[in-house]
Each structure stands twice: as C-alpha cells, then as structure tokens.
Structure 1
Amino acid sequence: MLIMKNVSKTFNPGTVNEKCALKNLNLELKDGDFATIIGSNGAGKSTLFNAITGAFFIDRGLIVLDGEDITYQKEHVRSKVIGHLFQDPLKGTAPHMTIEENMALAYLRAKTSKNAYFSRINAADKAKFREHLALLDMGLEDRMKQPVGLLSGGQRQALTLLMATMVTPKILLLDEHTAALDPATAKKVLDLTKQIVAERKITCLMVTHNMHQALELGNRTLMMDSGNIILDVSGEKRAGMTVEDLLEQFAVCAGKRLDNDRILFSQAE
C-alpha cells in the first residue's frame, strides 16, 4: 500500500539552522498493515507523516501510495485518500461549525468526484452521520446541530477519527492522537481506533510514546532515530519481545541508549 524509497528532507539548508529531518528513509507497508512508531523527540516521526501527507515536498526519493506515485502530488489531493490525526484535539475540526457540517466537509472532501465540494448532503447522508456518531457512545448523535467548539477534547478527537475514516482512507496516520487526553478518554479513543482499523482493514501508521502500546498494537513496530527507521520488527520476533528487549535493540541499532524520559516512564505503565 505504501512504498517510500530513499526519502530525504533537510530544512533550512545552508544555514546555521540546517536540520536533516529524514535521511535515505525506506519503508514498505502492505495493505492492512498496522505499524506503531516510537522514537525520541526530533527522530523524524512527525516529519515522516508530513512527507506522506504532502505538507512539504521531499528533497529526494520516491513515495508511492496504492501503486500511484504521489511524491510531488499536492497536499489537498492526497487528503482525499489519507486520514491524519494529530496530538492536539483542536486540530482536524472547525470549531465554529456544527458537528453535522464538519462531518459533511470530511465526507465531501474524500469523494473522488471533481465537483464533490459543490455537492450537497441529503437526508440519507445525515442519517448515515447519525449512525456513525452513535457508534462513539458519547451522545453526539443528538448534538449534530451544536458547534464542535463546545465538545471536550476527547469528544473532538473521537469525532476527528470518525471524520478521517467515514470514507475508508488508503492509509491512516495517527500522530500520538491520545497523548493529550485523560487516561479514561484516551483508552476509549484507542479502543475505538483499534475497532475501526480492524473492521475496515485500514493500513495504519501510529506514533506513540508508550512502549507497551508499541508492542501490543498492530502487527509491526518501527523505531526511528536521526531521521531514519533503525528497527522494524514483526511476526514471532515481535510477539516474543518485551519492553526491555525493545530498549536493548534500540541501543544496538542506534549506538546509544534511548534518552526520552516520556518514553522511558511508560515502561512502568
């Protein structure tokens, strides 16, 4: 589903602020893969996502999604087939628009027709929105006319997840999408994520700071450092790994110990 070959990106080249964010990165995801990504701040995790979504064009390399070369495809075109959730619950929705209007925008954006934005949602679409909202078990199906800005962070993040997957994307990118939520709400959103990804068989990349989640969720674990993927484990090898094993593998592959306190604290969770 996703192929990235020798992908490189340097910000502010030739200046004192030059930063090589991605360096000859290679990654292949099969259709239906659910890979978790872990790494320290500055390892390149969010930059990897932005390269896939088209937030910027890469300097070198190739990005292919479902057989189509999207390396230099514009971001708004890619957004039709790529779902993206951020750590900040305030991103991904328009606060002054109603729940129904937000869902309509997401639904029409993902349509392949060139005139989709000029289409209108009908009664059947609204009924479908209500059905989707009911699955969240948050009572939002009875608040469709209310502005999204009145929702809690957890409700907004759950709504954003719903909007990103209403029309099944070719790939779903989750950038620590539960990190800003309280533990109970985070668990609910994460359970909902697992359910939607499994039912729709969506190819998914998920950044997490939690070492246990990195090994328990999905079918692959990736570790990043200095703009590259230094570890990629799956299958029986991954099934038999502990958090301590993962940390040891990072030290071997990166040539240094992992020094991110937030990640290390998750060992005890």
Structure 2
Amino acid sequence: MLELKNVCKTFNPGTVNEKKALTGLNLSLKHGDFATIVGSNGAGKSTMFNAITGSFFTDEGAIILNGEDITFKKEHFRSKDIGHLFQDPLLGTAPHMTIEENMALAYLRASTAKTAFFSRISKKEKQKFREHLSLLGMGLEDRMKNPVGLLSGGQRQALTLLMATMVTPKLLLLDEHTAALDPATAEKVLKLTKEIVKDRNITCLMVTHNMHQALELGNRTLMMDSGHIVFDVSGEERAKLTVDDLLEKFKDNAGKSLDNDRILLSSAEGE
C-alpha cells in the first residue's frame, strides 16, 4: 500500500540552520498494516508524515501509494487518499464552520467527482453524517448546526478522526493524536481509533510516545532515529518483546539510548 524508497530531506541546506531531517528512509507497508512508531524528538517522525502528505517535496527518493508514484503530487491531490490527524486538536477542523459544514468539506474532498466542491449535500448524506456522529457517543449528532469552535479538544479530535475516515482512506496517519487530551478522553478516542481502523481494514501509521501502546497496538512496531528507521518488528518476534527489550533494541541499532523523557516515563509507569 505504501512504499518509501531512499527518501531524503534537508531543510535550510548550506546555512548554519541546516537540518538533515530524513536520511535514506525506506519503508514498505502492506494493505491493512497498522504500524506504531516511536522515537526521540527530532527523529523524523512528523517529517516523514509531512513528506507522505505532500507538505513539501523530498530532495531524493520516491513515495508510492497503492502502486502510484505520488512523489511530486501536490498536497490537495494526496488528501483524497490520505487521512492525517495531528497532536493539536485545534488542527484538522475549521472552528467557525458548523459540525455539518466541516463534515461536508471532508466528504466532498474525498470525492472522485471533478465537480465535488460545487456539489450540495443531500438530506440522505446529512442523515449519514448524523449516524456517523452518533457512533462517537458524545451527543454531537444533536449539535450539527453548532460551530466546531465550541467543542472541547476531545470532541474536536474525535470529529477529526471521523472526518478523516468517513470516506475510507487508503492510508491513515496519526501523529500522537491523543497526546494533548486528558487520560479519559484519550482512552475514548484511542478506542474509537482501533475500532475504525479494524472495521475498515485501514492501512495506518501511528506515532506514539507510549511504549506499551507501541507494542500492543496494531501488528508492527517501528523505531526511528536521525531521519530513518532503525528497528522494524512484527509477528511472533514482536509478541515476545517487552518494553525493556524495545529500549535495548533501539540502543543496539541506533548506537545510543532513547532520550525522550515522555517515552521513558511511559515505560516506567507500566512497571
């Protein structure tokens, strides 16, 4: 479903602020893979996501989605096939537009019709929006005419997840999408995420700072450092790993210890 071949990206080349963000990044995902990603700050996790979504063009390498080379496709073309959730709940929705209007934009964006953005949402489609919202269990189906800006962070993040998957994407990117939420809301959004990804068989990449989630969620765990993947595990080998094993694998492959305080704290909390 997704192939990254020798992807490289350097920001501010030739200046004192030069930053090699991606260095020979290679990754291959099969249809239905759900891979979690962990790594230190600056490892290249979010940069990889932005390269996939087309926020910038890479310096080298190729990005192939479902057999199509999208390396130089513009961001709005890729958005038809790629869902993307951010850590900040305020991103991904238009606060001054209503819940219904936000859902309509997401629905039409993913449409393959050339005249989609000039279409009108029918009563049948509005009813479909209402049914989707009811699945969240947050009462948002009765607030469709309310501006999104009135919602809590958890409600907005749940709505964004719904918008990103309302028309099943070929690829779903989750960039620590529960990290800014309170524990109870984060648990609810994560549960919803697992249900949607499983029910739709969506190919998914999820960045997390929680080492237990990294081993328990999905079918594959990736560890990144210095702009590339240093460890990739799945199947029986993954099932046998503990959090301490994962930290040791990172040290062996990256040549240094993982230095993300949030990740280390999450591993200690599970003991």
The TM-score with structure 1 as length reference comes to 1.00
> What's 1:3 paired with?
3
Q: Quote the Cα distance in structure 1 between the aligned partners of 2:189 and 2:259.
A: 28
> What's 1:44 paired with?
44
> What's 2:76 paired with?
76
Q: Quote the Cα distance in structure 1 between the aligned partners of 2:177 and 2:260.
A: 19
Count of residues in Structure 1 that have an aligned counterpart in Structure 2: 269
Q: Quote the Cα distance in structure 1 between the aligned partners of 2:158 and 2:44.
A: 26
Q: Quote the Cα distance in structure 2 between the aligned partners of 1:251 and 1:263.
A: 14
Q: Which amino acid aligns with 1:81?
A: D
Q: Which amino acid aligns with 1:31?
A: H
> 1:81 Cα deviation (Å)?
0.6
> What's 1:172 paired with?
172
> What's 1:223 paired with?
223
Q: Quote the Cα distance in structure 1 between the aligned partners of 2:261 and 2:166.
A: 36
Q: Which amino acid aligns with 2:156?
A: R
Q: Quote the Cα distance in structure 1 between the aligned partners of 2:179 and 2:43.
A: 18
Q: Which amino acid aligns with 1:252?
A: D
Specify the SS of the correspondent of 1:36: strand
Q: Quote the Cα distance in structure 2 between the aligned partners of 1:241 and 1:88.
A: 31
Q: State yes or no: 1:245 paired with 2:248.
A: no
> 1:260 Cα deviation (Å)?
1.0
Q: Quote the Cα distance in structure 2 between the aligned partners of 1:264 and 1:10.
A: 28
> What's 1:159 paired with?
159
> 1:83 Cα deviation (Å)?
0.1
Report the RMSD for the aligned CA atoms in angstroms.
0.4
Identical amino acids, percent of aligned pairs: 79
Q: Which amino acid aligns with 1:67?
A: G
The TM-score with structure 2 as length reference comes to 0.99
> What's 2:200 paired with?
200
> What's 2:94 paired with?
94
4+ residue runs over 2 A deviation: none
> What's 1:185 paired with?
185
> What's 1:17 paired with?
17
Q: Quote the Cα distance in structure 2 between the aligned partners of 1:52 and 1:168.
A: 17
Q: Quote the Cα distance in structure 1 between the aligned partners of 2:101 and 2:139.
A: 17
> What's 2:109 paired with?
109
> 1:119 Cα deviation (Å)?
0.6
Q: Which amino acid aligns with 2:49?
A: F
Q: Quote the Cα distance in structure 2 between the aligned partners of 1:261 and 1:149.
A: 32
Specify the SS of the correspondent of 2:224: strand
Q: Quote the Cα distance in structure 2 between the aligned partners of 1:260 and 1:122.
A: 48
Q: Which amino acid aligns with 2:130?
A: R
Q: Quote the Cα distance in structure 1 between the aligned partners of 2:50 and 2:213.
A: 22
Q: Quote the Cα distance in structure 2 between the aligned partners of 1:178 and 1:126.
A: 28
Q: Quote the Cα distance in structure 1 between the aligned partners of 2:85 and 2:258.
A: 26
> 1:259 Cα deviation (Å)?
1.1
> What's 1:65 paired with?
65
Q: Which amino acid aligns with 1:73?
A: K
Q: Could you give the per-residue CA deviations for residues 50-92 of structure 1, whole angstroms, max 9, x where no partner exists? A: 0000000000001000010000000000001100000000000
Q: Which amino acid aligns with 2:79?
A: S
> What's 1:260 paired with?
260
Q: Quote the Cα distance in structure 1 between the aligned partners of 2:195 and 2:182.
A: 20
Q: Which amino acid aligns with 1:147?
A: P
> What's 1:140 paired with?
140
Q: Quote the Cα distance in structure 1 between the aligned partners of 2:195 and 2:126.
A: 23
Q: Quote the Cα distance in structure 2 between the aligned partners of 1:257 and 1:97.
A: 46
Q: Which amino acid aligns with 2:13?
A: P
